[in-house]
């Protein structure tokens, strides 16, 4: 089958990396992005790129110099507190080889590497219709034919239902995302240290993470019912701050400051696809990133997996093996993601448990032993 006309639905890091790699192979993919421009929505906090996945993808894309210029190897530290404010773990080692980069900065590097017109902004795909020669994408006032459609469109992918009946399931934990400006929040700046701060108690956690440009991103997480999470999403910032202050009322004052002073950015209920999610390969349709293997952020693997998927899929789509190569990619991707998803589930359930801080402390200690 021909695999020349390639549509990528979703302009996140995985989709953009795939487009960049395909262009390096001489192809002309089109990325459909529903946002009307690059700055329409906040892109989230800081990401750590791992050497064998995220960083490898940047090297394959010829973007290692741009990544090195924008990344922050000095922000790899970890701190862990209990709810009483006792510091249980403090490690700052910039040689861990997991340099941080703001999600916005990573996305901009990828966008700037693409040929003009690759991304079609404000193009929401309303339908994907099989045809004799592939698939027809349908939008508002337009249709276009493609040989291959790649779903890089995240948790609630519209491509995935064409391949699988799997749906993301709520994982029992909701995060409220908070923002801090270093200049206005010196106490949060001190608390965060040189990377990421975790404070863990009974089914609750506070997280702050250093971002670039003098910002810190925070998260207040609570184990709660999905119906309550929906109520939180409908609440005002003022209501949310009161709810969080009640949830963390017994915590140390230095930790409560996180929920008392942060600017509310959004409510993030955590969802995940089944571990080891697979589907019967269908010629002309495939997935990468969260669309294929959504998991909680508690493994630190999400964006790294998406970038690694892009490398493997670009190779498959440009090989001489036809769709059989894509089927092999899907199997490889599923195995790689399953291991990460197991770690993500364990990390989430360790951080939000009735055992409090001890599972997280043991995780940090075990990581040092492995190093």
pLDDT, tens digit only, all 371 positions of the chain: 778 899 999 999 999 999 999 999 999 999 999 998 988 877 778 999 999 999 999 999 999 999 999 999 988 899 999 999 999 999 987 667 889 999 999 999 999 999 999 999 999 999 999 999 999 999 999 999 999 999 999 999 999 999 999 999 999 999 999 999 999 999 999 999 999 999 999 999 999 999 999 999 999 999 999 999 999 999 999 999 999 999 999 999 999 999 999 999 999 999 999 999 999 999 999 999 999 999 999 988 999 999 999 999 999 999 999 999 999 999 999 999 999 999 999 999 999 999 999 999 998 888 777 65
- 216 contacts 102 by C-beta, under 8 angstroms: no
CA 184, 187, 190, 195 dihedral sign is negative
The predicted pLDDT at position 44 comes to 76
- 267 contacts 208 by C-beta, under 8 angstroms: no
The residues near 366 (Cβ < 8 Å, ≥ 6 apart) are: none
- 200 contacts 351 by C-beta, under 8 angstroms: yes
Ramachandran angles phi, psi of 245, nearest 5°: -60, -35
The predicted pLDDT at position 2 comes to 78
Q: What are the Cα distances from residue 94, in Å, to 79, 156, 189?
A: 14, 36, 18
Residue 252 token pair:
């140390």
Q: What are the Cα distances from residue 97, in Å, to 52, 213, 302, 306, 371?
A: 10, 21, 17, 19, 11
The predicted pLDDT at position 370 comes to 65
Rounded to 10 deg, the angle between the 13-24 and 103-112 helix axes is 20
Ramachandran angles phi, psi of 233, nearest 5°: -65, -25
HSE, CB side, 13 Å, CA atoms: give it for residue 87.
Answer: 11
Q: Sheet holding 204-210: strands in order across? A: 87-91, 77-82, 195-201, 204-210, 215-223, 169-181, 263-272
The predicted pLDDT at position 40 comes to 80
The predicted pLDDT at position 211 comes to 93
HSE, CB side, 13 Å, CA atoms: give it for residue 338.
Answer: 10
Residue 267 token pair:
């409510």
Q: pTM for the complete prediction?
A: 0.95
Residue 359 token pair:
């599972």
Residue 54 token pair:
């995220």
Q: What CA–CA distance (Å, rounded) separates 90 from 85?
A: 13
């Amino acid at each position: 089958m021909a695999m020349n006309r390639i549509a990528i639905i979703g302009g996140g890091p995985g989709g953009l990396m795939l487009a960049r790699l395909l262009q390096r192979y001489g192809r002309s993919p089109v990325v459909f992005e529903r946002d009307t421009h690059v700055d329409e929505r906040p892109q989230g906090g800081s990401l750590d790129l791992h050497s064998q996945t995220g960083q490898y993808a940047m090297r394959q894309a010829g973007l290692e110099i741009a990544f090195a210029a924008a990344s922050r190897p000095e922000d790899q530290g970890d701190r862990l507190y209990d709810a009483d404010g006792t510091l249980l773990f403090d490690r700052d080692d910039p040689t861990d080889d997991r340099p941080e980069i703001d999600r916005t900065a990573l996305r901009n590097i990828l966008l700037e590497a693409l040929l003009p017109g690759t991304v079609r902004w404000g193009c929401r795909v309303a339908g994907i219709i099989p045809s004799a020669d592939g698939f027809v994408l349908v939008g508002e006032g337009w249709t276009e034919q493609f040989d291959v459609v790649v779903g890089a469109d995240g948790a609630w992918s519209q491509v995935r239902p064409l391949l699988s009946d799997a749906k993301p399931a709520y994982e029992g934990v909701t995060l409220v995302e908070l923002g801090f400006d270093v200049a206005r929040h010196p106490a949060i700046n001190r608390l965060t240290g040189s990377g990421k701060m975790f404070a863990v108690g009974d089914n609750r956690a506070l997280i702050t993470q250093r971002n670039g440009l003098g910002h810190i991103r925070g998260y207040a997480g609570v184990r709660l019912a999905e119906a309550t999470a929906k109520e939180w999403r409908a609440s005002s910032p003022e209501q949310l701050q009161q709810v969080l202050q009640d949830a963390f009322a017994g915590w140390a004052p230095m930790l409560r400051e996180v929920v008392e002073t942060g600017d509310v950015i959004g409510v993030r209920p955590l969802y995940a696809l089944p571990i080891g999610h697979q589907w019967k390969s269908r010629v002309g349709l495939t997935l990468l990133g969260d669309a294929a293997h959504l998991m909680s952020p508690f493994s630190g693997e999400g964006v790294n997996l998406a970038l690694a998927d892009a490398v493997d899929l670009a190779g498959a789509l440009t090989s001489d093996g036809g769709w059989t190569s894509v089927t092999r990619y899907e199997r490889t991707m599923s195995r790689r993601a399953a291991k990460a998803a197991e770690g993500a589930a364990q990390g989430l359930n360790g951080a939000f448990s009735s055992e409090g801080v001890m599972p997280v402390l043991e995780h940090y200690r075990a990581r040092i032993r492995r190093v």
